[in-house]
Amino acid sequence: MAPAPVHKPPVIMQVIPHLGAGGAEQGCIDVAAELVKAKAKAIVVSHGGMRIPELARLGVTHIDLPVDSKKPTTMYFNIGRLRRLIRDHHVDIVHARSRAPAWSCLKACEGTTAHFMTTCHAPYNIHDNSIKRFYNSSIVRGERVIAISNYVADYLKANYD
């Protein structure tokens, strides 16, 4: 009889600009805590913040990168940085929680086996600006998109199909 296949625990990397006070940050920490409880490897990438010690207490790996930046050059260089993390840590799912990091994450997942998902925490102002609409659309480009409420889901459906 053949030995049972060995399954590695899933590796989930959440990417959020900062770990300060706020609902998105709390959601990120809560998800990381549940992943650890479920024996998955949880990684959070952010550009720091006062809540990093909480991650350490939970057994979550934190990696500091400038994912808070909206500068196109920094976002571009974050693609390579994130792609290296995906490969080095054998990341299965990349979960972006903000628009700027979502662009870098989307591109970083290309050419890897990692799946890309996003969470939308609130509606964004569009004001008929096509550039802003395109920038905001990064949050709906995930293979899976989480809307934190029916209100946000309705907004995403109405504005981004």
Q: Which residues, including other chains, have CB under 8 Å from residue 96's CB and lie 6 or more apart?
A: 14, 15, 102, 105, 106, 116, 117, 118, 119, 138, 139, 142
Residue 43 structure tokens: 């990684």
pLDDT tens, residue by residue, 109-143: 999 999 999 999 998 887 678 888 899 999 999 99
Copy the structure tokens of residue 72: 């196109």
pLDDT at 24: 92
Measured in degrees and rounded to the nearest 5, phi and psi for residue 121 equal -95, -20
Between CA 61 and CA 9 the distance in angstroms is: 15
pLDDT for residue 5 = 66
pTM, rounded to two decimals: 0.92
Residue 159 and residue 129 in contact, taking contact as beta carbons nearer than 8 Å: no
Write out the two tokens for 78: 């974050």
Residue keyed to tokens 């609409």: 133
Average pLDDT over residues 136-152: 95
Q: In terms of DSSP H, where are the helices of the chain?
A: 23-37, 52-58, 72-88, 99-109, 130-136, 150-160
> What is the C-alpha to C-alpha distance for residues 55 and 115, in angstroms, rounded to an integer?
23
Q: Which residue has the higher pLDDT, 129 or 61?
A: 61
